[in-house]
A and B are shown apart, each in its own frame.
Chain A
Amino acid sequence: MSALRLKKPAAYVLLSLGLVLMAAPFLWMALSSFKTKPELAASPPVWIPTEWTLANFRELLKLLDLPRYFLNSTIVATLVTVCNLLFCSMLGYALAKLNFAGRNKLFGLVLGALMVPGNLMLLPLFVLMSKMQLIDSYAGLVLPFAAGAFGVFLMRQFMLSVPDELLEAARLDGAGEWYIFWRIVMPLVKPALATLAILTFLQSWNNFVWPLIATNDPDKYTLPVALATFATDPNRANGSSGVLMAGSFLVVLPVLFVFAALQRHFTQGIATAGLK
């Protein structure tokens, strides 16, 4: 028994140490964003800025059209999320609750699609989008992600738990399949929809490789593309660590807030997909 009681303080100490390591880069980023140039370069380092300044943010906003990129990211992520909620739920419903020939093969296809790495499609996708004149358009950024296999899988798993009797009763009352899907099943799986919405929005918000390829016009950049282009530009990057930290800070901060507020949805969604 005493061994069990001793275990706990050790676990708290270990976890706290781990947490310090996890938080250190974030804290360093936040503090550096508010430092003046001399304090950023000081050695030995100045950990807490003695003189808090917004100069880095002002310079950042002068160099980067951040509101524009913020808007682009928001529009793309919103459209991707809405499409996924609708299309993934529709197929999820069909796979979970409708009897039709080829259903099991279709589910196999969805599981297979889960395994395909996105990088495999980049080259022809770029050619296709060029041909369709969708480079530098919101459609070009949204369409390839409009119906993810993960979303279908998640919605199917949740819809399986909707009782069949409920649907049968509605069918006997003469309800059509769309009515049953939209008015009966969708309201019952609201928690799953919330989870899918959050995960999809975030994934789209953080998506990098495809927006990097599918945009040439800086006005169409999403936040990560703008930040990466700025950070890897050899002409500008040198000596502007404070500006880059401020940029990362502004990209990371809203996401961390949303996550802290809604964290249960994240972890539940991930765990559900892993266990079922």
Chain B
Amino acid sequence: MSAPTATVPKGPVETAKPTPSGPRSRRRRAGVQQLAGWLFSTPFLVLFAVFMALPIIATLVMSFTDFGLRNVTDPLSAEFIGLENYTKLFQDDKFLKSLFNTAYFVVVGVPLTIGAGLVIAVLLNNGIDRMRTFFRIGFYAPVVTSIVAIAVVWRFVLDPADGLIAGLATELGMTAPDFLGSETLAMPSLIVMAIWRNLGTVMVLLIAGLQAIPQDVREAARLDGAGAWHEFRLITVPLLRPTLLYATVITTIGYLNVFEEPFVMTNGGPSNSTLTVSLNMYREGFNFFHMGYASAMAYVLFVAIMGITVLQLRLLKDNTK
């Protein structure tokens, strides 16, 4: 990457060129680049300012107000109530429950998704040499499909009466539990579905990472008598660390925002056992129009996401050095 040193070009190569550009026209060109740089940036910056920066600040401001339905047409009449929304949040059993559920989803779901993606990626990259594309398409396919459609399908896969799993169970002479109707099984069911849907992303990232590992490092290890397991643990995983880190961070951010799965499959139930922070926020904000309160939720989630991301970057990165 070149540093932006536009104004004073030096060096024999530049001056030796028989070009018609004297120092004046060169300065003019630098000026053109200044102007062009900002003109090229304008469309993005305008959209960013209006639809991202402004709402991010507005959410924060709203979280200190009693913003309600009437304020949708008249935002400025919302009253400041200080930290009341935040103090209320942490006494709200439903919110604490949604916080716990989201944490559960992340803590169990992320390692399993990364693990599954890693196993598939290593098998695909190092274990076989034919039909790689075929397998890659198969494992990646759920990622590209509409999560709503997938959630609808999974609702019936898990249906206790005429679902896919219930059907398999009857063939084997067993009865399948009511996965989504049970307080203990509903969340694990959503996690299994999330793994199924997201391991393709992890796999693709890790395959790219694996292919960046030089072949001679592997061969050197093999010559030194390393078995498959040693090679995996001592060569593959350490060299794959930056990619693993990236995959973990984006999977965690995605899972912390989990919304569609409980929205379509369980509507947060039974007894709020799959109510996540995002779903809770959506309901408070857009069903009950407690928008100030919902904004406070959005910010708590945002701060949690930022904190966890920074923590992951620290923890996982320092080990590589």
Contacts and interface: CB of A to CB of B under 8 A. Distances in A.
Interface stretch (A7-15, A59-67, A188-196): A7-15
A152 B123 CA distance: 33
B40 A241 contact: no
Contacts of A227: 146, 148-149, 152
- Listed residue (A3, A42, A117) with the most chain B CB atoms within 10 angstroms of its CB: A117
Interface string A1-28: 0010001101110110011011111101
For B4, B51, B207, B278, the residue with the greatest tally of chain A CB atoms inside 10 Å of its CB is B51
Nearest to A205: B146
Contacts of B263: 228, 232
B19 interface: yes
22 contacts: A8-B127, A22-B141, A24-B164, A25-B196, A94-B36, A99-B4, A99-B34, A100-B4, A100-B38, A122-B281, A122-B298, A125-B55, A147-B44, A181-B40, A208-B147, A213-B282, A228-B263, A232-B264, A241-B159, A247-B149, A255-B145, A259-B140
Contacts of B21: 172
A225 B127 CA distance: 41
A236 B263 CA distance: 17
Interface size class of B (residues with CB under 8 A): 35 or more
Interface in B122-166: 123-124, 127-129, 133, 135-142, 144-150, 152-157, 159, 161-162, 164, 166
Contacts of B123: 11, 14-15
Contacts of B305: 117
Interface of A: 3, 7-8, 10-12, 14-15, 18-19, 21-26, 28-29, 32, 40-45, 47, 86-88, 90-91, 93-94, 98-104, 106, 109, 113, 115-128, 130-131, 143-144, 146-147, 152, 160, 164, 171-172, 177-178, 181, 202, 205-206, 208-209, 213, 223-225, 227-228, 231-232, 241, 244-245, 247-248, 251-252, 255-256, 259-260, 263, 266-267, 270-272, 274-275
A41 B208 contact: no
Nearest to A29: B153
B220 interface: no
Given A271-B207, A275-B209, A255 B72 contact: no
A121 B60 CA distance: 10
Nearest to B228: A7
A12 to B, nearest CB: 6
B59 interface: yes
A115 B254 CA distance: 11
B142 to A, nearest CB: 7
B91 interface: no
Contact of A123 (B36, B48, B208, B291): B291
B180 to A, nearest CB: 13
Given A25-B157, A91-B40, A117-B253, A127 B264 contact: no
Contact of B127 (A11, A103, A178, A266): A11
B150 A25 contact: yes
B157 A28 contact: yes
Contact of A28 (B153, B228, B301): B153
Contact of A88 (B44, B148, B278, B285): B44
A113 to B, nearest CB: 6
